[in-house]
């Protein structure tokens, strides 16, 4: 028994060390750009082979560590490894790299120096960015109310015993199936060519900041209400029939049933829907891009004349990176955006959890 | 027993994974290995993993000439046996952003497109100086960077002027050569406007200031005339002034604003603010406008995309008058719209050989006759089938061309700043003085910010 443990100890050590050496060699080859190649029938580059072999040897080494206590944990980790690795490579590592870049003057190709918190300080002095932040907040609040209101009314309509309810459901949901960019161009045509003729107005609604902002809201509500409506329909379907029947027998009219029974009973649905509309409105990008591309004149904001009157924050970040070549600065903005979104989501989850306990 | 089973499974996994690893590595391996003489021992080949036989890649930013370029690549392969892969992007794709992704992924093409200094700044130290190439002696349109290195290959020439429909002007009795300044331009506009029904046109000029879609037309091309119209090719006075804290010369900008006011007054109201590029170009092709504020690139649209409209309007002749906002401005702007650079860590020799071939008679024949490019090379004898090729050649021969420098503006100036001011002006929110004031106030924000 003791010998067996010893054997395993040595085996595990050898495997671990061998694995580490192979990994280090692969890393070294990558950094120094040395391409070692062997010919075994076909030519094989050693770097990838070393990397894979090294990783597997380490895993095997971990497996043979002579411990009873942690054996299960080690096995769990080994089995989780592919998932954890993928998650790290696609989410965790890019996120840290992103944070790092936000402290540099990266232009998308290379960076020349670290700028510390300069990027973060600069964005609060940039009137155009503050404006984007403000109108995004305004947009979120208006949309959260409007989308939910419209969606709930549509849901009520689609749960009545109306003829052709199936058709209406499909019709309301359809806009959500069209991509935002396409939708933006469709509506651009409507605003610029159709509405100008109908209303006999000289200019498209998209040409003035105020009306263009309203136009974006209209399109967004049109796109999103159908989707939220489906969730409300689902919610309304969960209201027990017997409760509704009881209310009817008690003489409650439709309004009372709606406010005293249906709405309280689908409170959780409301939470989900508010959350969904909140985060998606914050991230509004494609419709904004296609409809106005952020253009709009603001005559005086913080003592400046702005041309990005309808530019939401996501589009602002995009333009900072791609139109102005300030990738590092855009990255800093994106991190602020991430923090805001994370805070909003956390608060939202907190609140919704509380309510669920009460129910 | 179970333990052995587990071991066996693990072994299978190892083998499978190794196989995967090998096969993915192999794609990258030949490039590295072929430089060593296929000996079984390993060899240490340093930084450049490219080799002969792999061919080169050309990243083209002008989607309109994608097919002819591929033809040229095929002809080159037939002539030399070297492969050229053409990758064409355009139509709203952010080219430099795509290139950056390629760079990050270690997948840089050998030849890639760039527009002006701001784009090139990203690739500082990564492009090859081509002043020793044969084609360099044959043209003046190559792109020279700050250090005097010739880094940009000119593949075409484009022109910016006030394009006109010669048939309409003739019918109206307006001599385009007589438009030499603001008064004569205004007189010509008024005359054509008074004969609109007779001539069957919708408006005198197809000018569109939609800031969402055509900021580049107003904020870059039209504004570019303030920067360069009438100047000698090497005169950079106004762009220098602009880049020096965003200064405008009001003696020059005020008459420019008056010209824009004239365009606003005589443009098609349906097009002016709410229109788009297609409306503008198809309108001109269909003979609805006597003038249009677009450059030579619409020539190929007239003969291809809108050929039915163009034929219905009588396949009219086209020409250019200068944007003569000051009496005596007599040049149109011509330049290579963008250049091709050669990436220094790529297959430089083959890329340079291809460019030399393309600048030669065989390459230019395809570029001019099929792609409709106006050749920037003096030795070229091919003639393009393009309604604007003649007028451009005429201006060039008379030496009445200016270079254009709007490409040296910060890349977001038009999109984020000036485009919207042109739109406000067109809408009537501001008058000419307001237009000037807004420009004076806004441009420094971009240049200094």
Interval B348-406: pLDDT, tens = 999 999 999 998 888 888 888 888 888 888 888 877 778 888 888 888 888 898 988 89
Give the one of A34, A108, A293 whose C-beta lies nearest to B100's C-beta.
A108
Residues B198 and B233 in one domain: yes
Taking alpha carbons only, the member of B125, B346, B144 closest to residue A112 is B125
- Of all residues in chain B, the percent with pLDDT exceeding 90 is 45
For residue A42, the enclosing domain spans 2-116
Banded pLDDT at A212 (limits 50, 70, 90): very high
pLDDT in the model for residue B33: 36
Q: Which two tokens stand for residue A357?
A: 């306990």
Q: Is any Cβ of chain A less than 8 angstroms from the Cβ of B23?
A: no
Residues A52 and A146 in one domain: no
Q: Is residue B105 in some structural domain? A: yes
In whole numbers, what is the pLDDT of chain A averaged over residues?
87
- State whether B25 and A38 contact (CB < 8 Å): no
CA distance A317 to chain B (A): 13
Q: Is residue B90 in some structural domain? A: yes
b or e along B204-240 (b: 16 or more beta carbons within 10 Å of the residue's beta carbon)?
bbbbbbbbbbbbebbbbbbbbbbbbbbbebeebebbe
Chain A residues with beta carbon closer than 8 angstroms to that of B126: 109
Q: Is any Cβ of chain A less than 8 angstroms from the Cβ of B415?
A: yes
Banded pLDDT at B35 (limits 50, 70, 90): very low
Q: Which B residues, 67 through 86, put their C-beta within 8 Å of a C-beta on chain A?
A: none
Q: Which residues contact B301 (CB under 8 A, 6 or more apart)?
A: B281, B285
Banded pLDDT at B16 (limits 50, 70, 90): low
Q: Which of A65, A90, A116 is the last residue of a domain?
A: A116
Taking alpha carbons only, the member of B295, B293, B322 closest to residue B181 is B322
Number of H helices, E strands in chain A: 17, 4
B55 φψ region: left (φ > 0), alpha (ψ -120 to 50), beta (else)? left
Domain count, chain A: 2
Residues B133 and B273 in one domain: no
pLDDT in the model for residue A51: 87
pLDDT in the model for residue A61: 87
User: For A36-47, what is the mean pLDDT?
Assistant: 74
Q: What residue has token string 């008690």?
A: A250
Longest dimension (CA), chain A: 95
Alpha carbons A311 and A213: distance in angstroms, whole number = 9
What pLDDT, in 10s, does the model give residues A172-191? 888 888 888 899 999 999 99
What pLDDT, in 10s, does the model give residues A330-359? 999 999 999 999 998 888 878 777 765 454
Residues B95 and B242 in one domain: no
ipTM: 0.75
Q: Which two tokens stand for residue A322?
A: 């791609």
Instruction: Name the residue in chain B with its Cα closest to that of A299.
Output: B438
How much is the CA Rg of chain A, to the nearest whole Å? 29
Q: Is any Cβ of chain B less than 8 angstroms from the Cβ of A201?
A: no
Residues A110 and A169 in one domain: no
- Of all residues in chain B, the percent with pLDDT exceeding 70 is 87
Domain count, chain B: 2
3-state helix, strand, coil in chain A (%, to 5): 75, 5, 20
Q: Which two tokens stand for residue B36?
A: 């060593």
Instruction: Name the residue in chain A with its Cα closest to that of B268.
Output: A202
pLDDT in the model for residue B7: 60
- State whether B26 and A45 contact (CB < 8 Å): yes
Instruction: Name the residue in chain A with its Cα closest to that of B13.
Output: A56
Q: Is any Cβ of chain A less than 8 angstroms from the Cβ of B5?
A: no
Cα-to-chain-centroid distance, residue A181: 17
Q: Which of A82, A116, A150 is the last residue of a domain?
A: A116
Using the Cα atoms of residue A96, residue A98, residue A102 and residue A103 in order, give the sign of their dihedral: positive
Q: Which residues contact B51 (CB under 8 A, 6 or more apart)?
A: B31, B34, B35
Q: Which A residues, 257 through 296, put their C-beta within 8 Å of a C-beta on chain B?
A: 291-296
Q: Is the pLDDT of residue B22 over 50?
A: no
Q: Is any Cβ of chain B less than 8 angstroms from the Cβ of A118?
A: no
Give the one of A49, A191, A295 whose C-beta lies nearest to B211's C-beta.
A295
- Residue predicted with more confidence, B50 or B17: B17
Instruction: Name the residue in chain A with its Cα closest to that of B440.
Output: A305
User: For B183-196, what is the mean pLDDT?
Assistant: 94
Taking alpha carbons only, the member of A232, A90, A261, A209 closest to residue A155 is A232
Give the one of A191, A304, A323 whose C-beta lies nearest to B411's C-beta.
A323
Q: Is residue B254 in some structural domain? A: yes
Domain containing residue A143: CATH number? 1.10.3720.10
Residues B303 and B173 in one domain: yes
- Residue predicted with more confidence, B308 or B64: B308
Cα-to-chain-centroid distance, residue B59: 14
CA distance A267 to chain B (A): 42
Q: Is residue B15 in some structural domain? A: no
Burial class, A267, CB count within 10 angstroms (exposed 0-12 / middle 13-18 / buried 19+):
middle
Q: Is residue B384 in some structural domain? A: no
Banded pLDDT at B14 (limits 50, 70, 90): low
* pTM of this structure: 0.79
Alpha carbons A74 and A8: distance in angstroms, whole number = 15
Q: Is any Cβ of chain B less than 8 angstroms from the Cβ of A34?
A: yes
pLDDT in the model for residue A308: 87
- State whether A33 and B40 contact (CB < 8 Å): no
CB B163 within 8 A of CB B298: yes
Q: What residue has token string 């409809």?
A: A291
Host H or E run for residue A43:
strand A42-45
- State whether A43 and B419 contact (CB < 8 Å): no
Q: Is residue B39 in some structural domain? A: no
Q: Is any Cβ of chain A less than 8 angstroms from the Cβ of B185?
A: no
Number of H helices, E strands in chain B: 20, 13
CB A280 within 8 A of CB A345: no
Instruction: For residue B162, give the DSSP letter.
Output: E
In whole numbers, what is the pLDDT of chain B averaged over residues?
84
Helix (H, G, I), strand (E, B) or coil at B127: strand
In chain B, the N- to C-terminal Cα span, in Å, equals 72
Banded pLDDT at B258 (limits 50, 70, 90): very high
- State whether A38 and B42 contact (CB < 8 Å): yes
Three-state SS sequence of B188-210: HHHHHHHCHHHHCCCEEEECCCC
Q: Is residue B365 in some structural domain? A: no
Residues A112 and A124 in one domain: no
CA distance B228 to chain A (A): 24
Q: What residue has token string 């002696």?
A: B137
Residues A96 and A151 in one domain: no
Q: Is residue B349 in some structural domain? A: yes
Instruction: Name the residue in chain A with its Cα closest to that of B269.
Output: A202
What pLDDT, in 10s, does the model give residues A88-124? 999 999 999 999 999 998 888 888 888 889 999 999 9
CA distance B308 to chain A (A): 23
Q: Is any Cβ of chain B less than 8 angstroms from the Cβ of A305?
A: yes
Q: Is any Cβ of chain B less than 8 angstroms from the Cβ of A36?
A: yes
For residue B69, the enclosing domain spans 56-157+337-359
């Amino acid at each position: 028994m003791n010998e067996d443990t010893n054997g395993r100890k040595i085996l595990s050590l050898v495997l671990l060390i061998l694995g580490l050496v192979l990994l280090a060699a692969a890393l070294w080859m990558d950094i120094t750009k040395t391409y070692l190649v062997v010919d075994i029938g076909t030519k094989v580059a050693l770097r990838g082979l070393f990397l894979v072999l090294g990783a597997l040897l380490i895993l095997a080494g971990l497996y043979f560590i002579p411990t009873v206590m942690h054996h299960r944990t080690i096995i769990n980790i080994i089995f989780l490894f592919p998932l954890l690795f993928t998650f790290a490579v696609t989410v965790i590592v890019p996120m840290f790299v992103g944070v790092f870049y936000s402290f540099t003057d990266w232009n998308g190709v290379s960076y020349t120096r670290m700028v510390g918190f300069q990027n973060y300080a600069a964005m609060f002095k940039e009137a155009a960015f503050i404006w984007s932040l403000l109108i995004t907040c305004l947009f979120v609040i208006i949309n959260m109310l409007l989308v939910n209101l419209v969606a709930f009314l549509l849901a009520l309509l689609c749960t009545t015993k109306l003829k052709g309810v199936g058709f209406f459901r499909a019709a309301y949901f359809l806009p959500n199936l069209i991509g935002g960019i396409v939708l933006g161009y469709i509506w651009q045509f409507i605003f610029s060519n159709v509405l100008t003729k109908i209303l006999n107005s000289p200019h498209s609604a998209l040409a003035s900041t105020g009306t263009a902002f309203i136009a974006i809201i209209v399109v967004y509500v049109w796109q999103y209400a159908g989707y939220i409506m489906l969730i409300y329909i689902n919610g309304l379907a969960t209201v027990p029939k017997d409760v509704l029947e009881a209310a009817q027998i008690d003489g409650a009219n439709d309004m009372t049933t709606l406010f005293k029974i249906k709405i309280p009973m689908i409170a959780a649905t409301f939470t989900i829907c508010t959350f969904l509309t909140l985060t998606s409105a914050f991230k509004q990008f494609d419709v904004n891009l296609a409809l106005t591309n952020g253009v709009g004149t603001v005559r005086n904001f913080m003592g400046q004349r702005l041309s990005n009157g309808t530019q939401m924050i996501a589009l602002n970040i995009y333009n900072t990176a791609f139109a102005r070549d300030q990738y590092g600065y855009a990255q800093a903005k994106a991190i602020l955006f991430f923090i805001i979104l994370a805070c909003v989501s956390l608060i939202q989850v907190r609140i919704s959890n509380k309510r669920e306990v009460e129910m | 027993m179970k333990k052995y089973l587990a071991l066996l499974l693990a072994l299978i996994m190892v083998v499978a994974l190794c196989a995967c690893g090998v096969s993915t590595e192999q794609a990258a391996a030949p490039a590295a290995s072929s430089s060593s003489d296929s000996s079984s021992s390993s060899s240490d080949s340093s930084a450049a993993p490219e080799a002969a036989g792999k061919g080169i890649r050309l990243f083209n930013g002008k989607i309109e000439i994608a097919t002819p370029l591929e033809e040229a690549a095929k002809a080159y392969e037939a002539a030399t046996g070297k492969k050229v892969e053409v990758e064409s992007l355009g139509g709203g794709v952010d080219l430099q952003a795509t290139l950056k992704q390629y760079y990050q992924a270690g997948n840089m093409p050998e030849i890639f497109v760039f527009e002006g200094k701001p784009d090139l700044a990203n690739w500082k130290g990564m492009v090859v100086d081509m002043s020793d190439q044969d084609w360099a002696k044959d043209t003046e349109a190559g792109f020279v960077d700050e250090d005097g290195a010739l880094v940009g290959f000119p593949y075409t020439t484009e022109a910016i002027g006030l394009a006109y429909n010669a048939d309409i002007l003739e019918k109206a009795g307006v001599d385009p050569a007589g438009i030499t300044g603001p008064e004569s331009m205004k007189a010509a506009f008024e005359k054509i406007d008074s004969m609109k029904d007779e001539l069957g046109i919708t408006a005198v000029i197809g000018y569109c200031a939609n800031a969402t879609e055509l900021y580049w037309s107003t904020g870059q091309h039209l504004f570019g005339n303030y920067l360069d119209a009438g100047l000698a090719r090497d005169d950079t006075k106004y762009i220098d002034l602009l880049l020096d804290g965003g200064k405008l010369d009001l003696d020059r900008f005020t008459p420019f604003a008056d010209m824009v006011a004239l365009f606003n007054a005589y443009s098609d109201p349906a097009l002016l603010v709410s229109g788009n590029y297609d409306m503008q170009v198809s309108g001109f092709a269909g003979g609805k406008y006597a003038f249009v504020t677009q450059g030579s690139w619409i020539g190929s649209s007239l003969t291809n995309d809108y050929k039915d409209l163009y034929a219905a309007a009588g396949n009219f002749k086209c020409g250019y008058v200068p944007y003569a906002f000051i009496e005596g401005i007599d040049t149109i702007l011509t330049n290579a719209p963008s250049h091709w650079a050669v990436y220094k860590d790529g297959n430089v020799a083959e890329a340079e050989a291809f460019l030399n071939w393309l600048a030669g008679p065989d390459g230019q024949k395809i570029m001019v006759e099929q792609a409709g490019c106006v050749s920037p090379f003096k030795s070229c004898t091919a003639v393009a089938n393009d309604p604007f090729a003649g007028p451009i050649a005429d201006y060039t021969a008379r030496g009445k061309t200016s270079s254009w420098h709007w490409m040296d503006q910060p890349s977001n100036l038009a999109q984020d700043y000036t485009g919207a001011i042109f739109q406000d002006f067109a809408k009537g929110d501001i008058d000419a003085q307001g237009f000037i004031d807004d420009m004076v106030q806004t441009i420094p924000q971009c240049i200094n910010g």
